[in-house]
Structure 1
Amino acid sequence: MKTKTLLFLTCLFLCCKMQAQDTVQIRPMVVAEQGSFLIGGTVATDEQGNTYHGDHGYVFYQIPISPRFYPLVFLHGIHQASKTWESTPDGREGFQNIFLRRGFSTYNMTHPRRGNAGRTPVKTFVEPIFDEHIWYTKWRIGIYPGYFKGVQFPKDKASFEQFMRQMTPNTGPMEFEVETNAIAALFDKLGGAIMVAHSRGVMQTWKTIPKTDNIKAIVAWEGGGFFSFPNDEPRPDIDVEEGIEFIMVSPETFERFTRIPMLLVYGDNIPETKNDILELDIWRIRLRLAKLWTEAVNRRGGNVTLVHLPEIGIYGNTHFPMSDLNNIKMADIMSEWLKQQGLDCF
């Protein structure tokens, strides 16, 4: 496994140094089919027999001519929807189009109780919370209103406005069981696909794996939480308690994680030692957990590659690498890994 990881990192280093022209040229985007559909969900019935459909996911898809074998499923993070993958705050193409151009069918999902999938039978109250400056720091753009040195985030006012306005409220309580039921239903409908998840979407992915055999690979961008460790080994040596950040599971459940090739990617400005700013310190904990989890999965025969971008000479990436100024380079990292794993075949 160490040999495979070393080979990937070597190829990745060369890929990032070359800056090949064909990764930045805009070629015609030919779409053979596109559309949208709702997936999963429930039907509630009142005493008079009237029905209410809700708690489904929303999916927008595009299929190119002669697509690669496995489609990509894009899953957003907390306070986001499918906009995460559509385009960047400063108007450049997002991963949805970048990978469509690279021959992949793309399925961009919004999970239940959010955005276009907002219909739910659960009553809730949407209250404005003035927390944007907190998320600005937690998403590692900078300490508001400043920017981290060399940050890969556009600094113009219009881009900042677009970024903050893409935050999307919940129309009901966030429940992993409801969300992962819809996610699993999508993978079962597709009969096999590659999950490309971001942030809380990675947490949902860990919870979805036991529900379907159709997640064939995972690219996890800046995942935090629910790292699952086998309970026949000591708990991870980390300064948080079991709960949201990590959980202990049975060896049988943990074994499911060893069957799927996975790429985990983390950006810059993550503290190396304990930090007084909690919004930043949580990423120190999550990166440490991700490394411990990678070791645990690979120790039992898994295939996990973890890339911490500053360790390979790429600096300034925020919590949103897919929309940072160097998002083409981020797409190249993902493409190179898919190639190394034999997952980009037609």
Structure 2
Amino acid sequence: MENKNHKKVATQVIGIYILIVVAVTIASCVSTKQNQNSSLIIKEQGAFSAGGTVVKSEGTFDALKPWNVPQGGQTRHGDHADVFYQLPANSKQHSMVFLHGYGQSRRSWQTTADGREGFADIFLRKGYGVYLVDQPGRGDAGQTTKPGQITATPDDQTWFTQFRIGLYPSFNEGVQFPKDSTSLDRFYRMMTPNTGNVDETTIVNAMSAVFDKTGDGILFTHSAGGSPGWKTAIKNDHVKAIVAIEPGGFTFPEGEVPEGNRGGRGVPLNAFLKLTEIPIVVYYGDYIPKEETSAASLSFWRNVLTTAQQWAKVVNAHGGDVTIVHLPELGIKGNTHFIMSDLNSKEIADLLAKWLKEKGLDK
């Protein structure tokens, strides 16, 4: 009797073991299938520099002297853009070129504060080749020809507030930004300084050189990258469309520049009209007040949005195709200044994909 019980227990154990093995095998197959479905097939990737200048010091260089002895007669290569690119198999006709904003590098397009895929990977999966730029004097393009001072002043809370994550230390209600301390730490560590004195013309020249290498493409800009972005499109015919995420400044024609515009002086009308030849979409997020407020950061963005709307009217009045998208008006709420990396970034990407299709830019 006891022997039969032992056999019965053994049979049950074996049965349970078989069920576990089958379950694990099925889960493994499902997981593998999911991983295969989400895999990215990259046909080509690499990095290159674009644009830049070369300066030479006075004097004569002596190759026999030690490396740490200052000498004249030497060159310095700087003021170029640094580009990392990936091209998927069967990539679409137009690639995407991504330019970051102030205090940022290309990482702001590559990832998010909580480690999700960035905008670049989202559109790479949609079949677009992506070119991620570090502008002159930033990130991997740190070598410049004009010196600048790098400070170490603590300013994290300033950017938390300026980027509309909240009024520090409080997060905005319903904000599409991860609230855990690890994500906030990662976000702060994405900030990077200017390594030299770089003017807008230098950035525009470098960005134009990028498009000379990439060919026809869609220019993505963020924040302070917006102003040189307009001028890059004016300078280079390879820019076939612009997607601007919360640009801070705009390029108006001479005589039509509104007070407070951060895009500099106006440009000649014939140059400005280049912006009327391509489709442009501009996105702004949430927490931008309709009325004046005592919070300087919010008043800043209120004025920027007002200028954006004025600019769109001017471009369209000259025959252009500009769309200003204020996300809360579409019922999409909670977005910060970093729309492309907020928690709802895939929703924003899908919204943008519809615009790209409408404009025939998804082929």
Q: Do they fold alike, i.e. is TM over 0.5? A: yes
- Whether 2:275 is the aligned partner of 1:261: answer no
Contact 2:146–2:198 (Cα < 8 Å) also in 1: no
**AA at the equivalent of 2:199:** E
1:230 is paired with a residue whose SS is: coil
* Aligned equivalent of 1:34: 45
CA distance in 1, matches of 2:37, 2:304: 36
- Whether 2:319 is the aligned partner of 1:293: answer no
Structure 2 length as normaliser, TM-score? 0.84
- Whether 2:78 is the aligned partner of 1:66: answer no
* Aligned equivalent of 2:20: none
- Which structure's CA Rg is the greater one? 2
Deviation at 1:206, TM superposition (A): 1.6
1:280-322 deviation line (CA, Å, top 9, x unaligned) = 1111001011111111111111011111000010000000011
Contact 2:234–2:272 (Cα < 8 Å) also in 1: no
* Aligned equivalent of 2:325: 307
Tell which deviates more after alignment, 48-57 or 287-296: 48-57
Unaligned stretches of 5+ residues in structure 1: 1-24
Deviation at 1:121, TM superposition (A): 2.1
Q: 1:26 to 1:150 in 2, by over 3 A?
A: farther
Q: 1:231 to 1:245 in 2, by over 3 A?
A: closer
* Aligned equivalent of 1:86: 110
Q: Percent identity of the aligned residues?
A: 47
**AA at the equivalent of 1:44:** V
CA distance in 2, matches of 1:182, 1:241: 27
* Aligned equivalent of 1:15: none
Find the partner of 2:185 among 161, 167, 176: 161
Corresponding pairs, count? 315
Contact 2:144–2:198 (Cα < 8 Å) also in 1: no
**AA at the equivalent of 1:92:** R
Deviation at 1:26, TM superposition (A): 6.4
CA distance in 2, matches of 1:210, 1:152: 34
**AA at the equivalent of 1:326:** N
CA distance in 1, matches of 2:293, 2:164: 13
* Aligned equivalent of 2:30: none
2:252 is paired with a residue whose SS is: strand
2:171 is paired with a residue whose SS is: coil
CA distance in 1, matches of 2:292, 2:325: 21
* Aligned equivalent of 1:222: 246
Contact 2:231–2:251 (Cα < 8 Å) also in 1: no
* Aligned equivalent of 1:12: none
Deviation at 1:232, TM superposition (A): 4.9
Find the partner of 2:121 among 93, 97, 100: 97
Tell which deviates more after alignment, 117-126 or 281-290: 117-126
CA distance in 2, matches of 1:28, 1:158: 27
Deviation at 1:245, TM superposition (A): 4.9
**AA at the equivalent of 2:50:** I
CA RMSD of aligned residues (A): 1.5
1:146-199 deviation line (CA, Å, top 9, x unaligned) = 110100000000000000010001101231011111101001112211101100
* Aligned equivalent of 1:190: 214
Contact 2:144–2:197 (Cα < 8 Å) also in 1: no
Deviation at 1:94, TM superposition (A): 0.3
1:62 is paired with a residue whose SS is: strand
Deviation at 1:51, TM superposition (A): 1.4
- Whether 2:196 is the aligned partner of 1:172: answer yes
Deviation at 1:254, TM superposition (A): 1.8
CA distance in 1, matches of 2:92, 2:263: 35
CA distance in 2, matches of 1:39, 1:223: 23
* Aligned equivalent of 1:231: 254
Contact 2:251–2:263 (Cα < 8 Å) also in 1: no
CA distance in 2, matches of 1:108, 1:241: 30
Structure 1 length as normaliser, TM-score? 0.88
CA distance in 2, matches of 1:78, 1:230: 25
Greater RCO, 1 or 2 (C-alpha within 8 Å, sep 6+): 1
Deviation at 1:126, TM superposition (A): 1.2
1:71-101 deviation line (CA, Å, top 9, x unaligned) = 0001100000011011111010001111111
Deviation at 1:278, TM superposition (A): 1.2
1:186 is paired with a residue whose SS is: helix
Find the partner of 1:119 among 125, 129, 143: 143
Tell which deviates more after alignment, 149-158 or 131-140: 131-140
* Aligned equivalent of 1:207: 231
